Chain A
Amino acid sequence: MNTQTIPANASAAGQRRLPAEVNILMVLVGIALVFEILGWIFQGQSFLFSLNRLKIMILQVSVIGIIAVGVTQVIISGGIDLSSGSVVGAVAMVAMSVAQVSSYARAVYPALTDLPMIVPLLVGLSFGALVGFINGWLIAYTKIPPFIATLGTMVTVRGFAKWYTKGQPVSFPTEGFAALGKGMMPVVIFILVALVFHIAMKYTRYGKFTYAIGANAQAARVSGINVEQHLVKVYVIAAMLAALAGMVVAARGQTAQAGMGLAYELDAIAMAVIGGVSLNGGRGSVLGTAIGMIIFGVIISGFTFLRLDAYYQEMIKGVIIVAAVVADVHRQRKRRKTS
């Protein structure tokens, strides 16, 4: 966009900055190249040029990626959502309980079997929306910090998941429901979700309001934005996306367990942060998070490829999260100095 109507001054700040995503993409390329080189040295083969490996890699991360798209919006609005992992577990249970086949003798609701897949899908999404509404309402109207509100729902919802069948797993879904997790379906769902919310964050009022609230909630309010109402929307959307991820996980495994999605919220937050979403709010994008997700996947599959112990993976993951935040803080400080 050329805005020559405005008198330009030729200050240093006047140069067009590259989109922040470019930096993250370079990090991704760098990491991938490092693994490629290490692959030739230690394994005698290419890391990147293996379609199968790339498929597995993207499959591994796209379920958490779906959650990360929601978490991205929450963080941009200036909040945090710790409840998404528990929502995954609870929705897996609840949705699966209305998605079972009648031929299975020990169905949770014997009267509610062989239902079309839309039923468990709607039940699961509604459950997610309810949790999101509670999160959003607590944060917007009781003014408790998002960390505490979602920590509370995280624990409560996980408890609910365990209570729901008294700890018993729920299995044997209909073929329709199981299709949600079949083959590359999780990746397709992730791409759709990412696309929808990329557009929503960039071109709709919903997105603009979310950025505005995260950048300066007071100023947003004075601009005439109903901050409270909007925050509820953001948390509802985030929890519904976590619910969707929960159903994908259950469908893929063809079984639901109360412990599903444990610590997914942390990985999702990490993907967003690695993808350049600022924990101070107001900055970041769905596209950045998607790249962050792939970085995450490359690292995990790279370590597996190099036959490094799984324990190292976790340790390195921790280091990378901290490094990403340090980089973010550093970027912001540099910005401020140049202004």
Chain B
Amino acid sequence: MISATTRRAIDRVKQNIAEDGVLSIRGIRKEFPGVVALDDVQLKIRPGSVHALMGENGAGKSTLMKIIAGIYQPDAGEILLRGQPVTLKSPLDALEQGISMIHQELLLMNPMTVAENIWIRREPKTRFGLIDHARMAAMTQELFDRLNIRLNPLAQVADLTVAQKQMVEIAKAVSHNSDVLIMDEPTSAITESEVAHLFAIIRDLRQQGVGIVYITHKMSELFEIADEFTVFRDGKYVGTHNASDVTRDDIIRMMVGREITDMFPKVDCPIGDVVLEVRNLTLPGVFDDISFQLRKGEILGLAGLVGSKRSNVAEAIFGVHPAASGEILIDGKAVQISSPKAAMEHGLAFLTEDRKETGCFLVLNCLENIQSALITRDHVKAGFIDQKTVTKLAEDMAAKLRVKTPNLNETVENLSGGNQQKLLIARWLLTRPRILILDEPTRGIDVGAKSEIHRLITQLAGQGVAVLMISSELPEVLGMSDRIMVMHEGHVSGFLDRAEADQVRVMELAAR
């Protein structure tokens, strides 16, 4: 017997869900040092529906999902789960309240079995309190049967393919019987037939009333699987529509409909001979048949979405992870670039994408960060560094780039992202490169530093440096480049001249 009060309470919850959806988010704001990642965004997920979340790189989709999954805490705003306001203190907390997330980077424990991965923390016990492996395997099999997954519960996760791991992740998320399931680009690494299987599972879950948030870059998937979709742009909410009400072009316009301000001080400068030519560069499984030319004084923008492998091409050219086949020509002569050292000897410089992982020496000081590339070849006599000269060069360059630090002895981890980035640029400019590869030169830094870096890039091009600039920000690519090369899943999908390029054209090539 259910009491009248309880029934009333249940009715109220049912009504709330009807109004607010199973998950409703309002006015969420999230700031990171120097950037506003999310600004007053909203999202409403109905039970038994698939809600696609769209937007360019850096639109704030992943940040929002991490807030919903309890990984980040919002600075402001409210989250309603089944009509009730909740705070999600940790991933475990979110999970216990009925929100599961399948991460893009699969977070499984490789040395353990499939079953152990799925039931971790919830292992069935024997009556002696020990783990009941037989029952755990049976439970896994049951789950797999329900989802039509053919996998041995006792297989080791390390031996599985990426698609199989994906299936394990999905089974794990489903096993929590969550009301909300978040999928972050689940098809980025699996084949078409596997995608069909995944979609069958998603439809089945939808039938059972689960609210699914589906992050994707792929238009075709949106129309195939989603009921509704929401677009974010630059951390802001743009709009929510039914998937059946719109066309592909509408969505692209929503994603890119940004004003290009005069933030980009690109000035035309004479473009000279070809200095870098890449022919048929291929790294199996990563990128294929990449060819392009880069001229003296030219800024070639390289656009593409996550997974387009732009950075991998840059790493291949600079010798970090050399390509398996293809040719690199500098000044028309074929060269072998097997290491960054070799690349530097040919006058290349490479500002890497990830400041923290491959750029800065965070625990060292500014001077040591600036000089690290220079002293691999210049200003060293009998092993001793000509520190006076190098320090002078570093100070001048830091002043020219307006690095804000009390002095160059300051540890780099105490500097803001923008200043760290300027230090890294200073590092490469000291080597006086002829070809400069910039991978996301202004990611995660404030507007002021951004425009300073843009001005600097233009200046360098004016001095005859050939610049290859990878950027996920369309306005940046469009504002800075003489020419734009667009990549899609490891292939070059097209080139656009400055005159003919606009946001819609680039997105069409990038999103296919």
* Chain A residues proximal to chain B, CB less than 8 Å: 1-3, 5-9, 11, 13-17, 200, 203-206, 208, 211-212, 215-216, 218-226, 278, 280, 282-283, 335-336, 338-339
Please report which residues of chain B, range 369-411, place their CB below 8 angstroms from some CB of chain A when the two chains form the complex: 371-373, 375-377, 380, 383-385, 387, 391, 395-396, 398-399, 402-411
Interchain Cβ contacts under 8 Å between A and B, 29 examples: A1-B407, A5-B399, A6-B407, A6-B408, A7-B402, A8-B407, A9-B406, A14-B406, A14-B410, A15-B406, A205-B375, A205-B380, A208-B371, A215-B361, A215-B364, A216-B362, A218-B357, A218-B358, A219-B361, A219-B372, A220-B372, A221-B320, A224-B373, A224-B377, A225-B372, A282-B364, A335-B413, A338-B414, A339-B414
A204 touches B384 (CB 8 A): yes
A7 to B452, CA, bound (A): 15
B360 touches A216 (CB 8 A): yes
B364 touches A339 (CB 8 A): no
CB distance from A309 to the nearest CB of B (A): 40
> What A residues does B406 contact at CB under 8 A?
6, 8-9, 11, 13-16
A13 to B410, CA, bound (A): 8
A233 to B414, CA, bound (A): 31
> What A residues does B387 contact at CB under 8 A?
203
B376 touches A224 (CB 8 A): yes
A222 to B339, CA, bound (A): 8
A221 to B315, CA, bound (A): 12
| A-B contact sample (4 more), CB < 8 A, given A205-B375, A218-B357 | A205-B383, A215-B361, A215-B362, A339-B415
- Supposing A204-B385, A221-B340, A224-B344 touch, asked if A1 and B363 sit within 8 A by C-beta, the answer is no
> What A residues does B372 contact at CB under 8 A?
208, 212, 219-220, 223, 225
A224 to B427, CA, bound (A): 11
Please report which residues of chain B, range 84-108, place their CB below 8 angstroms from some CB of chain A when the two chains form the complex: none
A15 to B383, CA, bound (A): 32
Indicate if B237 sits at the interface (CB-CB under 8 A). no
> What B residues does A17 contact at CB under 8 A?
411
A111 to B404, CA, bound (A): 69
B408 touches A223 (CB 8 A): no
> What A residues does B380 contact at CB under 8 A?
205
> What B residues does A221 contact at CB under 8 A?
320, 339-340
Indicate if B440 sits at the interface (CB-CB under 8 A). no
Indicate if B141 sits at the interface (CB-CB under 8 A). no
> What B residues does A11 contact at CB under 8 A?
406
Q: Which of A16, A219, A220, A280 has the most CB of B within 10 A?
A: A219
B352 touches A222 (CB 8 A): yes
The 8 Å CB contact of B376, one of A6, A225, A282, is A225
B361 touches A211 (CB 8 A): yes
B318's nearest neighbour on chain A, judged by CB, is A222
B402's nearest neighbour on chain A, judged by CB, is A7
CB distance from A180 to the nearest CB of B (A): 27
> What B residues does A15 contact at CB under 8 A?
406
> What B residues does A336 contact at CB under 8 A?
413
CB distance from A153 to the nearest CB of B (A): 27
> What B residues does A16 contact at CB under 8 A?
406-407, 409
Indicate if B350 sits at the interface (CB-CB under 8 A). yes
CB distance from A167 to the nearest CB of B (A): 41
- Supposing A203-B384, A222-B320 touch, asked if A2 and B407 sit within 8 A by C-beta, the answer is yes
Indicate if B359 sits at the interface (CB-CB under 8 A). yes
CB distance from B5 to the nearest CB of A (A): 48
> What B residues does A5 contact at CB under 8 A?
395-396, 398-399
A2's nearest neighbour on chain B, judged by CB, is B407
B396's nearest neighbour on chain A, judged by CB, is A5
A228's nearest neighbour on chain B, judged by CB, is B339
> What B residues does A14 contact at CB under 8 A?
405-406, 410
B409 touches A1 (CB 8 A): yes
> What A residues does B384 contact at CB under 8 A?
203-205
- Ordered nearest first, which 7 A-B pairs have the shortest CB separation? A14-B406, A215-B361, A224-B376, A13-B414, A223-B372, A3-B407, A339-B414
Indicate if B368 sits at the interface (CB-CB under 8 A). yes
A204's nearest neighbour on chain B, judged by CB, is B383
CB distance from B226 to the nearest CB of A (A): 38
A200 to B382, CA, bound (A): 11
> What B residues does A13 contact at CB under 8 A?
406, 410, 414
Indicate if B498 sits at the interface (CB-CB under 8 A). no
A158 to B375, CA, bound (A): 39
A219 touches B403 (CB 8 A): no
Indicate if B133 sits at the interface (CB-CB under 8 A). no
> What A residues does B339 contact at CB under 8 A?
221, 224, 226
A11 to B407, CA, bound (A): 12
B364 touches A222 (CB 8 A): no
CB distance from A118 to the nearest CB of B (A): 24
A219 touches B410 (CB 8 A): no
A7 to B402, CA, bound (A): 7
A278 to B399, CA, bound (A): 31
A6 touches B363 (CB 8 A): no
CB distance from B33 to the nearest CB of A (A): 9
B364's nearest neighbour on chain A, judged by CB, is A215
B385 touches A208 (CB 8 A): yes
A221's nearest neighbour on chain B, judged by CB, is B340
CB distance from A229 to the nearest CB of B (A): 10
Indicate if B341 sits at the interface (CB-CB under 8 A). yes
> What A residues does B357 contact at CB under 8 A?
216, 218-219
B424's nearest neighbour on chain A, judged by CB, is A219
A3 to B344, CA, bound (A): 29
B404 touches A9 (CB 8 A): yes
CB distance from A281 to the nearest CB of B (A): 8
> What B residues does A222 contact at CB under 8 A?
318, 320, 340, 350, 352, 358-359
> What B residues does A203 contact at CB under 8 A?
384-385, 387
> What A residues does B350 contact at CB under 8 A?
222
A283 touches B414 (CB 8 A): no
A205 to B409, CA, bound (A): 18
A336 to B301, CA, bound (A): 35
> What A residues does B371 contact at CB under 8 A?
208
CB distance from A332 to the nearest CB of B (A): 8
B368 touches A211 (CB 8 A): yes
> What A residues does B399 contact at CB under 8 A?
5-7
- Supposing A13-B414, A222-B320 touch, asked if A282 and B409 sit within 8 A by C-beta, the answer is no
A62 to B99, CA, bound (A): 60
B406's nearest neighbour on chain A, judged by CB, is A14
The 8 Å CB contact of A282, one of B341, B361, B398, B407, is B361
CB distance from A45 to the nearest CB of B (A): 44
> What B residues does A3 contact at CB under 8 A?
395, 407-408
A335 to B413, CA, bound (A): 9
CB distance from A8 to the nearest CB of B (A): 5
A87 to B248, CA, bound (A): 70
B364 touches A212 (CB 8 A): yes
A6 touches B383 (CB 8 A): no
CB distance from B290 to the nearest CB of A (A): 20
- Supposing A1-B391, A208-B368 touch, asked if A219 and B359 sit within 8 A by C-beta, the answer is yes
Q: Which of B343, B376, B391, B396 has the most CB of A within 10 A?
A: B376
> What A residues does B341 contact at CB under 8 A?
224-226
> What B residues does A335 contact at CB under 8 A?
411, 413-414
A283 touches B363 (CB 8 A): yes
B392's nearest neighbour on chain A, judged by CB, is A5
The 8 Å CB contact of A205, one of B318, B344, B385, B403, is B385
